[in-house]
Structure 1
């Protein structure tokens, strides 16, 4: 087997490695291409229309009403849609009298912020990054104050707007609000 691999072209070796890597770690693939993520106000998208540089943009912000403005087709309501659904909607509208069989790709350029408040040194809004936990968010906010309680942490998710108890390892999502409570001792 090893001898066979030595004689393979480099392209096939790399392709084989990538296939094996993604088959062995499907969670990594799912995290990087999460097709279930629904965009919301504050997210920034990258939109490409194949063969149309004038209709391709690096940064398209979603406004507070959940709408993005796009040349030729005007406002597109995108809040609550996945990137695939946005692609289909833009393709449909561009095909309606503007382009013949447009091919559109949409990706998340920047996620909306997370917010941390309470007993941290620098409360405020911070950029969301994949893999962000409460502990990492606290570090971004300059650490805990001397009065902070490590056991009184609440998290408010955009969906449901219900506060839940959290700990240092709780994963965060775009738009989450983390509150660090005060210790009584």
Structure 2
């Protein structure tokens, strides 16, 4: 019986420590300014942070190792970079976990009652974002919806069921009638 409890305990701890399995993060997601990370260095509470923001330049300031350029990197790549730098004269075999604490905002503008920035949540669609913004104005068009994903990319047509990603900008156009 005690062996089963140890196995269950190990699996539970593994799920809590692995953000991909816990559903908190996606290995293909690239962090960007505005994201907030959680960083844990095993056995080093002074080097572990519950909330550490990525600054507007895409840089993360970390004790002992200084600034780390993280914009465009996955959490796994960030883990390896911090481990590499900590192993270079500070710790023997650092074990680092990085997860997304809070994603950057999405933005909704145009014919909604409360345009502005809103926190991104997994599963967010254009329709849900409109609800967060108080709904459509009487002049809004349900078909004139555009979406801009990344800086420099063109706006694309969207509909109510279009899934959103962190940093997306949604524009609701006016109806002609």
Equivalent residues in 2 for 1:25-174, closer than 5 Å: 32-158=24-150, 161-174=153-166
Contact 2:31 2:71 in 1 (8 A): yes
Gap regions ≥5 residues in structure 2: 12-19
What's the offset of the Cα at 1:100? Answer: 0.6
Superposed CA RMSD in Å reads: 2.2
Contact 2:25 2:100 in 1 (8 A): no
What's the offset of the Cα at 1:32? Answer: 4.6
Partner-residue secondary structure (3-state), 1:130: coil
Gap regions ≥5 residues in structure 1: 1-7, 19-27
What's the offset of the Cα at 1:30? Answer: 9.7
**Residue equivalent to 1:181:** 173
- In 2, the alpha carbon distance for the partners of 1:160 and 1:88 equals 30
Residues matched between the structures, number: 165
Partner-residue secondary structure (3-state), 2:162: coil
Distance 1:59 1:96, change over 3 A: same
State the TM-score, normalized to the length of structure 2.
Answer: 0.87
Distance 1:72 1:173, change over 3 A: same
What's the offset of the Cα at 1:80? Answer: 0.4
Structure whose alpha-carbon radius of gyration is higher: 1
Contact 2:25 2:99 in 1 (8 A): no
- In 2, the alpha carbon distance for the partners of 1:38 and 1:176 equals 14
What's the offset of the Cα at 1:31? Answer: 6.0
Relative to its length, the structure with more helix (as a share) is 1
